[in-house]
Amino acid sequence: MTEHPLQLFAEQFTEADQTRLVGFSCGEEPWSRHVAQWIQGSDVLDSMKRGTRVWLFESTQGEVVGFGSLGTSRWRWPPPNGESTTILLIPMLGIDVRFHGQPSDPDWRFSHQLMSHLISEGQRTSREWHGDQGQKPDWLVLMVHRDNLRAIKFYENCGFELIPNVVRRENHLVMKLWVGE
């Protein structure tokens, strides 16, 4: 079957892929620079050691358009030593500046394709969760810098909602999306 020319491909990321990411940039704001540093440095590898899955998103021509990640964590409440809740989370995602706002056809917008894949993987993880892995994760969460208004708008358009009155490490807001059945 012939793929649509604007179709992205999701490839499992490995350390060897980092050589392809020299020059990868999401922009010059601090919250954009840390995205590139995360995937180009050792943070992504540390995260993968904790079970995070990472994908590179490639165009039909094989260019790296962006990357995304999906992991789980167990958060506790109430303190101290309360019950743990399994959470699905997106530690980091980013699109190279060359592909921001691309393509003009909203049905094939790269940012939507990328997020669509991460949500789909989140739903699958929730659906296929085994009881012996602990409580099934139904929420997908992500963190966003409070000044990164463009990203907040994008996540809202995808269905995420800000968790009210939550600010982590001074400047980061948390958004949630239901991926359970």
Region 79-108 residues binding other proteins, contact defined as CB under 8 A = 79-80, 82, 84-85, 87, 89, 91-92
Least Å distance, CB 121 to other proteins, is: 7
Q: Which of 54, 66, 117, 129 binds other proteins (CB under 8 A)?
A: 117
* 126-155 positions binding other proteins, by CB under 8 A: 138-139, 141, 143, 145
Based on the shown chain and the rule CB under 8 A, indicate whether residue 75 belongs to the binding site for other proteins.
yes
Instruction: Find the farthest-apart pair of alpha carbons in the chain and give their distance in angstroms, rounded.
Output: 55
Q: Which of 128, 130, 131, 169 binds other proteins (CB under 8 A)?
A: 169
Least Å distance, CB 133 to other proteins, is: 13
Q: Which of 18, 25, 59, 102 binds other proteins (CB under 8 A)?
A: 18
Q: With respect to other proteins, which residue has the nearer C-beta, 130 or 168? A: 168
Tell me how many residues contact other proteins (CB under 8 A): 80
Q: Residue 11 carries which side chain, given as an amino acid letter?
A: E
What stretches of the chain show up as alpha helix (H) in DSSP?
30-40, 43-49, 110-127, 149-158
Closest CA to 91 of 105, 72, 106, 75: 72
Q: Residue 138, Cβ neighbours under 10 Å: how many?
A: 19
Based on the shown chain and the rule CB under 8 A, indicate whether residue 15 belongs to the binding site for other proteins.
yes
* 22-41 positions binding other proteins, by CB under 8 A: 22, 30-31, 33-34, 37-38, 40-41
Using an 8 Å Cβ cutoff, are 47 and 93 in contact? no
Q: Which residues of the chain form beta strands (DSSP E)?
A: 9-12, 53-58, 64-77, 83-90, 93-95, 139-145, 161-168, 172-178
Token pair recorded at residue 42: 């050792």
Q: Which of 26, 149, 159, 173 binds other proteins (CB under 8 A)?
A: 159
- Cα gap 163→181, rounded to integer Å: 21
